[in-house]
Amino acid sequence: MKEALLLAAFVALFCVRLGAVGLIDYDEAAYAQAAHEMLLRGDWLSPSLGGEPFFEKPPLLYWSQILGYRALGVGALGARAGNAFAALATLAALYGFSRRPLGARVAWLAALVLGSSLAFVSLARVALTDLWLLLFIVLALGCFHRAVEAADGSRRGGSRWFVTFCACSGLAMLAKGAVGALLPAAAALLHLASLRRLSLLVRPAWWLPGAAALLGIGLSWYLLLGATRPDGFAFMTELFLEQHVARFTSAKEGHRGPLLYYVPVLVIAFAPWSGFLPVALARRPDAASERGRWLRLLGLLSGVTLVFFSAAATKLPHYVLPALPGLALLVAERLAGDGVPPARRALAWSVAATLVLLVALAIGLAAAPAIAAALPAWLAERADKAPELAYPLDLGPALPAAALAALATAALVAASRRAPRQLAFRLGAGSLVVWACVAWGVMPRWDRHFLRPLRELTLSAIARDTSGERLVLVGLRRKPSVVFYGGRGTEYASGRHPESLVAQLAGPPPRFALASEATFARLARSAPVEAIGRDTGYVLFRAAIVQVGEPPPGAAVAPR
């Protein structure tokens, strides 16, 4: 019964109002548009963006989005439905593989901890590759654990589970490239080394079919694409060298950080459970039992993830996601009370840290409307890169509701500070309410302010311009949402040379352009342009139509 209630809560949290927020630039909108173009062409192999080859990521996310479009229509809901499914499947996999070694209570609580953590909830509601990667890594390591446990003196013991481990690692490669095999393989090798059972890997019944499954699935798309493209495997330059090697050795798009970058990121990503990490990590799992071996394997995945991405030059917050299942298991195992309970003093410190985190969250949520109202005055002209910030932002009543829910959760946690199991349930349930208020109430209003203006102006431009010409984005780089919602290609212009821009817009046929208010104001001072529509910091415009004998807009008129 409680499993069904938890599943229903997660279905609601991940799926309700999933399409109420438009696609977010850059990554989410780019992936959604790539999948849309594949759908229109009936091509499941070659991703493209705006008609140009697009090889930033392998195709598993695109395939899920194509299925979503067919079932739910082309839009944000169809693009994200696959990720919501992957989130639910990940929690089911963690519960299913944990139930035997840890018991139903700990497995249930681990699913609650992971599913209510901030990073997991956030990524369940956007169309990125990370949750598909996490799903197949959890499945892979669950199968690997079963393979090791089933291995005995016979030659074939556990081989089917090991082959399934390799197959799931191959699917993880189709989700996010080589890292999909690297992370589970590193955790598995370290686990076998700690158990002194590396000899299992030399069994022919394991490694021969395992290697075939890993390479056959993991490299299938790469080989098919290279065999069918006129330029062969040239796409690997971007997909492997740029998106793998270059991201590890150099900071891409300015996403750099210090060596300890993921320490504060982990505290935020694992909220509201971060305060229990010291208690969970204080005790080393005992490898003498299956319980300890499963905890150790997932704990090694957490460690490998943090070390690997800390060493990489490119750092992004969502890279920490594969570390969360292992941490969720460790926290759940300590709080469930089935094993060695946490020391009273350590538990008290963890509860105090959790209360501080919840109160800080409540204060932040309550103060957000005032901060949003003050942003236009604070930013002034510096809001050019995000012109929506120059306008008052109304996030509605859901923010105070979320703040009250956070305070209520803090009160419930404080009241149950000496009963870890009850505390865990109340913290998980309360955090689900907080995240639901934000996801269902705050984010749609955020969409209306930040995403809808550009979306509506794009649709207005398409309705006015039937020529099929590309829209010109002036000073607005990396906006694939315009392509997705407009159904038309775009081209970028810096706006630094107004005369050439006006000539570009004048046609024939005449063309439309989008820019921020500040960029348009600079253009209008020196070029004949006219605004067609305005919305929350953005302007839709075209080259001005000048009557004979009439000075162009922006031209100086000599005094009489």
Report, as an integer, the average pLDDT of 52-64: 93
| Model confidence at 238: pLDDT above 90 | no
Three-class DSSP category at 283:
coil
Model pLDDT for residues 4-32, shown as the tens digit of each residue = 889 999 999 999 999 999 999 889 999 99
Q: What is the DSSP secondary-structure string of 18-40?
A: TTSSPPPTTHHHHHHHHHHHHHH
| Angstrom distance (rounded) from CA 146 to CA 330 | 19
Domain boundaries, the chain: 24-74, 356-450, 453-543
Q: How far is CA 555 from the centre of its chain?
A: 48
Q: How many Cα atoms occupy the beta-carbon half-sphere of 335 within 13 Å?
A: 33
**Do the beta carbons of residue 330 and residue 283 sit within 8 Å?**
no
Model pLDDT for residues 256-297, shown as the tens digit of each residue = 888 899 999 999 999 999 999 988 888 788 888 999 999 999
Report, as an integer, the average pLDDT of 232-236: 84
Three-class DSSP category at 531:
strand
Contacts of 528 (CB under 8 A, 6+ apart): 502, 543, 544, 546, 552, 553, 554, 555
Report, as an integer, the average pLDDT of 84-91: 97
| Model confidence at 241: pLDDT above 80 | no
pLDDT given at position 381:
58
Other CB atoms closer than 10 Å to residue 399's CB: what's the count?
21
Report the percentage of the chain scoring pLDDT > 90.
63
Residue type at 88 in one-letter notation: L
pLDDT given at position 154:
63
| Model confidence at 322: pLDDT above 80 | yes
When computed from its CA atoms, the radius of gyration of the chain, rounded to whole angstroms, is 26
| Model confidence at 450: pLDDT above 50 | yes
| Model confidence at 146: pLDDT above 60 | yes
pLDDT given at position 157:
75
The CA distances from residue 38 to 32, 45, 306, 512, in Å, are 10, 8, 34, 27
**Do the beta carbons of residue 270 and residue 317 sit within 8 Å?**
no
Dihedral-angle region of residue 177 (phi above 0 means left; psi in -120 to 50 means alpha; beta otherwise): left
Contacts of 241 (CB under 8 A, 6+ apart): none
| Model confidence at 370: pLDDT above 90 | no
Model pLDDT for residues 174-230, shown as the tens digit of each residue = 999 999 999 999 999 999 999 999 988 888 889 999 999 999 999 999 999 999 888
Report, as an integer, the average pLDDT of 426-445: 95
pLDDT given at position 558:
42
